[in-house]
Amino acid sequence: MTEAISRCVRMDDWIFEIKLVRALKVDSYGQPYRAIAQLNVNGDFAFLDGSLHAGEEGFCAQDIATFQKFCQMLEVKELRLGTEPQLPNQQEVVEKIGKAARKIA
């Protein structure tokens, strides 16, 4: 899946806009998940501000890469990570989607 996902869909007199995404870390839908995360989308950036993990593990580099790929599909330019314990330990994180530039404090 590398196609762009439209964040706005018009149906009749309504425009549906994706603003909040709940992501599940699971092998197949409907099974117990290992983690859940909340991604808020606002304009050109997305903010990963909440996550819960079933075990002791937190987010790994592969998890962040997966969220980056999803943001690319939404044509989001920046992915910002919150400062909760399950996310990489940092003061400020700004991931530039589709660019090599990274600021990780």
Is residue 45 assigned to a domain?
yes
Q: Collapse the DSSP code of 63 into the 3-class scheme (helix H, G, I; strand E, B; otherwise coil) and give the result.
A: helix
Q: Encoding tokens for residue 66? A: 């997966």
Task: Identify the domain containing residue 35 by its residue range.
Answer: 8-102
Would 89 be classed as within a structural domain? yes
Query: What is the value of pTM for the model shown?
Result: 0.73
**66 assigned to some structural domain:** yes
pLDDT of residue 94: 45
**pLDDT score recorded for residue 91:** 41
Total domains present in the chain? 1
Q: Is residue 85 part of a domain?
A: yes
Domain CATH code at residue 75: 3.40.630
Task: Establish if 2 belongs to a structural domain.
Answer: no
Give residue-wise pLDDT tens across range 3-32.
778 888 899 999 999 899 999 999 999 999
Is residue 21 in a domain?
Answer: yes
The pLDDT of 54-77, averaged and rounded, is 84
Backbone angles phi and psi of 40, in degrees to 5? -100, 130
Position 1 in a domain:
no
